[in-house]
Amino acid sequence: MPHTPADKKKALTRLRRIRGQCDALEKALEAGADCGPVLQQLAAIRGAVNGLMSEVMGMYLHEEFGSAPQISSAQQTSIDNILSLIRTYLK
């Protein structure tokens, strides 16, 4: 969970954007939209959720391991590599 005010605001902004996308999808489905735009909206929502997950996971890793006073540069590099892999997987 984001703990700093800036991180919390950033996560909530992303969540509100996702909610807007879901509302638009609901309206499109109610209106009987074509499959193409609906699938495109679903993909956009999935990408937005994955982006939020990546962001929160990054905040968590940096909070848990990145702020320790005894962290070495090798450990910091490992954290960065893990985050990079996670972000690549979630794309």
- Cβ(48)–Cβ(21) under 8 Å? yes
Separation between Cα atoms, residue 65 and residue 76, nearest integer Å: 8
pLDDT at 42: 96
The one-digit pLDDT tens for each residue of the chain (91 residues) are 677 888 889 999 999 999 999 999 999 999 999 999 999 999 999 999 999 998 888 888 878 876 666 778 888 888 889 889 988 888 7
Task: Kindly report the CATH number assigned to the domain that includes residue 50.
Answer: 1.20.58.1000
**Total domain count, the chain:** 1
Range of the domain at 32: 5-89
pTM equals 0.80
